[in-house]
Chains A and B, each alone.
Chain A
Amino acid sequence: MKITTARRISQIFFFTLFIWLCVVTTLGAKFTQLSGWLVNIFLHLDPLAALATVFSTHRLYAPLVWSVLIIVLTIVIGRFFCGFICPFGALHQFISYLAHKNKTTKQLVELHKYRKGQNIKYYILIAFLVIAALPGLQNIQTGLLDPIPLFTRTVNILLLPIIDNPVNVLSATDRLYKTAPLVLSVFLIFILLNFVLPRFFCQFICPLGALFGILNRTSIWRINRNSKCTDCKLCNKNCQGSCQPSETVKLSECLLCFNCLDDCKFDAIDFNTASSNAVQSEPDLSRRGVLAAAFTGLLAMPAFKLIASPNSDGIIRPPGALNEKEFAKRCIKCGQCMRLCPTNVIQPSGIENGLTNLWTPTMNNRTGSSGCQLDCVACGYICPTAAIRPMTLAEKLGKGNFADKGPVKIGTACFDRAKCLPWAFNIPCIVCQENCPVSPKAIYTRLVYANVIDATIKVKSINRDTIYLDDGTLSPNRFATGDYYCLITSGLQNIRRKIVSNSSDAITISGENIIDAVRPGSVQIQIELQQPYVDPQKCIGCGICQHECPVSGSGAVIVTALGQTREK
């Protein structure tokens, strides 16, 4: 069996595994659901996620220790991850194959030759790592281009919903992600670039590949050309890394696709321990380029801060999210929390929270099925870097050992009284109060009776429980909903009675025979309203009230970051 066959099997396997893991990122105990909780393995194997978080936090979060395995293997045998494992790389390789399969050998050799521009990825890596490490401003942006989080995000919030929403197999309700179009454009650009040059992303953009290109300089086994070489250049024909095995091999670009072994007709290519002078183990980096990249990284954060939007310090994040400063050091924008969240309330941020927060998780209570579910802490368990830290339900709810700390507060709900139905329009509602899951409820109401406009009504006569009106202009049973009252003023006495029914010229009120003696000239129709208030001490900011609010737009009860536990 050829090693390239094994490579293809490996690529298909890991690509399928990757997609399958994204599919099973659904809460539940079944085999096709979360069950074993191993859906983060690719993210945990990602050395760039590990290195960037080590740069920003100075510690290695436990599960990321898996990446050490990849690093060590890369040091010993080279960029096998790119050639054998990376699902995004496999996708690019497949697309490139389709794009260029009708080309002549000559064209293919030309397409796969080494280009100086391939060192751009090293500069991207350097800039990202400087941003991650910058004291005081540590911020992780590797997730923008790191292929594992990038592809995870693309599958999670773009491809799976596109496929699943019409059939609703994975999720009973459609999954919505507001910044999916941007994810789509990034994904499409990288896919289409394969038509320009094969595996364009891998060769020119990928910061993870760049990291491997730096790590593999001491690899013990390498591609070597031996003395049988006739200089035919055919080895370049399908070279996935464009490392030009026909010339001085650029070791840092070789991603162990082994196509050259196949393509060489003369047995002139070996993968062995020989030390040939025709191997360049360091990437083609210029000192000027490195400095420029570092400088870019150095200035990037202060520049991003300039255009941070005013609300970037009041972002509402999922429960368990670390304080904003620590959060920025960890979130790799993989979208796992958004994928797993059973209610779809966790949304990828756009640039409205500042450029650096693009695709980081925020809460949008108006999307999804019901705000942040009270008895759920799944996002903290799925987060691969603990930007949302794992916590027990007891801690979230402030029970058991956490009773003295109280529940974790995501934010605080505020009423917009200019929109709220009972406040602004005299319409009974209080859906928010009913849905508040906190016990005792964080939304309470006060009873008021408001005069119904244009409803001071002239009385003709009163008989027991029926008031006859001067003119018959009422629409029948308009006031029969049980919320309307009749205020009868007689002398100093105010009598308020519930309206049972009304015809065009008569109103029947509850209670019997109370106003025979009273002969008022007119009565006032009132509506009983429960006007809602938030008790900020009790509100945990779960956003269920905002989700349920019948007022369109952002609703009349809005969760703000006020009082959120993570900033305390």
Chain B
Amino acid sequence: MENKDKISRRDFLARIAKAGISAAAVCSTAKLLYESDVQKMFSATPPLTGFRDYSVPAVAGKTISIVSGADRTQTVRKAVELLGGIDRFVKPGETVLLKPNIGFARPARIGATSHPDIIAEITKLCYEQAKARKIYITDNPINDPASCFELSGIAAAAAKSGAEIILPRTNLFRSVSLKGAKLIQNWPVLYEPLAKVDKVIGIAAVKDHARSGASMTMKNWYGLLGGARNNFHQDINTIIVELTMLVKPSFVILDGTETMVSNGPTGGSASDLKRTDTMIAGCDQIAVDAFGATLLDLTPASLPYLQRAEQLNLGTTDYQSLKPVYAKIEGAI
């Protein structure tokens, strides 16, 4: 026992060293982490300011194509072909995101959602003709996301054609503050799916919409917003214009095969739909929507968001000036 009473010099030094190192480590960590300004402690990461530009170089006379016909598979293929073919937009090995409007958990036949035939055909074109590496589909619907993809038939179309569905999971949203925007400030946006692809294609149907007049390709980007987005209905025209500023797609497809003329944007009955047998594709969302408005017997001048987007030079409502390419697919379904 006696030898335990006295600490050896070595042990004592070791203990002092350990205590000293620990104390020094605590002090230096404290100094390193020291911060007196609270606001510096959390406002360090600047918010994202938007997406990159997914558009491709313009080709005169190939900005908008309008194909009439009843079979969506045929009309959409023709419409894309008239814009210069899918390989104008998608290069081999690239990844593509399709953004259909799948807001509601309703079957495709009532026209509230983008038609699975279009999804299937575009996916096929991307894979076969453009040799794309991967096609993704995403939307942040109003109803339960998984049910929306399932019931609209888009999940089935995707599975069949080899596209991957990205459900709007919470961790895919990022806070975005769009430059020059009033509403999209520090707002959660379905960011990750767009950030990881090379090209983005918007796919929407022509629908009556009580608050904004018409829901078409520009309004379709509403499905990228998260958070309490219903607040934006208080200023619907501004949010549509800001969404148009936010997303610059490679091209958009507007389905006017059956136009929802009443009870939009949900519809619910075949009587809400009118056969207009038109498929529009284009690189200028505003021009595409301006033409789409005519299917609802509206003039572009009656839709304030078109006017305001045009004033901001986001596109033109005078689609005639872009010399649309017209075609007709003969034959019934």
Which A residues lie at the B interface, using CB under 8 A?
A: 54, 57-62, 65, 68, 71-72, 75-76, 215, 218-220, 224, 226-227, 272-278, 322, 326, 386, 389-390, 568
Contacts and interface: CB of A to CB of B under 8 A. Distances in A.
Given A62-B36, A226-B1, A275-B7, A57 B22 contact: no
Given A60-B30, A75-B19, A76-B19, A273 B7 contact: yes
A58 B33 contact: yes
A275 B8 contact: yes
B284 to A, nearest CB: 34
Given A76-B23, A273-B12, A275-B8, A389 B30 contact: no
Nearest to B30: A68
B2 interface: yes
Nearest to A71: B26
Which A-B residue pairs are the 5 nearest by beta carbons? A62-B36, A227-B1, A60-B33, A218-B18, A386-B38
A389 to B, nearest CB: 4
B38 A389 contact: yes
A147 to B, nearest CB: 21
A74 to B, nearest CB: 9
Contacts of A278: 4
Given A226-B1, A274-B4, A277-B4, A322 B38 contact: yes
B27 interface: yes
Interface of B: 1-2, 4-8, 11-12, 15-16, 18-19, 22-23, 26-27, 30, 33-36, 38-39, 41-42, 186
A61 B2 CA distance: 49
Contacts of A274: 4-7
Contacts of B15: 218, 220, 273, 275
A54 B34 CA distance: 10
Given A60-B30, A68-B27, A75-B26, A390 B38 contact: yes
Given A57-B41, A215-B22, 14 more contacts: A54-B33, A58-B33, A59-B33, A60-B33, A61-B41, A62-B34, A72-B27, A75-B22, A75-B23, A76-B19, A218-B18, A274-B4, A275-B11, A277-B4
6 contacts: A60-B30, A61-B41, A76-B19, A275-B4, A276-B4, A386-B41
B264 to A, nearest CB: 29
Contacts of B35: 59-62
Contact of A227 (B5, B16, B23, B27): B5
A402 to B, nearest CB: 13
Contacts of A54: 33
B19 A218 contact: yes
Contacts of B33: 54, 58-60
B42 A226 contact: no
A59 B5 CA distance: 44
A68 B24 CA distance: 10
Contacts, number: 81
Contacts of A224: 5
A60 B36 CA distance: 8
B36 A389 contact: no
A317 B27 CA distance: 34
Nearest to A216: B19
A534 to B, nearest CB: 16
What does DSSP make chain B's interface, helix, strand, loop or mixed? helix
A254 to B, nearest CB: 16
A61 B19 contact: no
B6 to A, nearest CB: 6
Contacts of A326: 41-42
B34 A220 contact: no
A227 B3 CA distance: 10
B19 A219 contact: yes
A390 B22 CA distance: 33
Contacts of B18: 218
A324 to B, nearest CB: 12
Nearest to B185: A568
Nearest to A313: B228
Contact of A59 (B22, B27, B41): B41
B171 to A, nearest CB: 8
Given A60-B33, A275-B7, A389 B39 contact: yes
Contact of B23 (A65, A72, A226, A275): A72
A215 B23 CA distance: 10
Nearest to A219: B19
Contacts of A59: 33-35, 41
A59 B35 CA distance: 6
| Residue with the greatest number of chain A CB neighbours at <10 A, chosen from B18, B33, B36 | B33
Contacts of B34: 59-60, 62, 65
B11, B12, B19: most-surrounded residue (chain A CB, <10 A): B19
A272 to B, nearest CB: 8
Given A58-B33, A59-B35, A275 B26 contact: no
A326 B18 CA distance: 36
B26 to A, nearest CB: 5
Contacts of B5: 224, 226-227, 274, 276
A390 B36 CA distance: 11
A322 B42 contact: yes
Nearest to A63: B36
Contacts of B30: 60, 65, 68
B234 to A, nearest CB: 11
A220 to B, nearest CB: 5
Contacts of B36: 61-62
B229 to A, nearest CB: 15
A226 B2 CA distance: 8
A386 B16 CA distance: 36
A166 B4 CA distance: 61
A72 B24 CA distance: 8
Among A75, A76, A272, A278, residue most surrounded by chain B Cβ atoms (within 10 Å): A75
A386 B39 CA distance: 9
A377 to B, nearest CB: 13
Nearest to A57: B41
A76 B18 CA distance: 9
Contacts of A65: 30, 34
B7 to A, nearest CB: 5
B174 to A, nearest CB: 13
Contacts of B42: 57, 322, 326
B141 to A, nearest CB: 21
Contact of B38 (A61, A215, A276): A61
A59 B42 CA distance: 9
Contacts of B41: 57, 59, 61, 326, 386
A218 B26 CA distance: 13
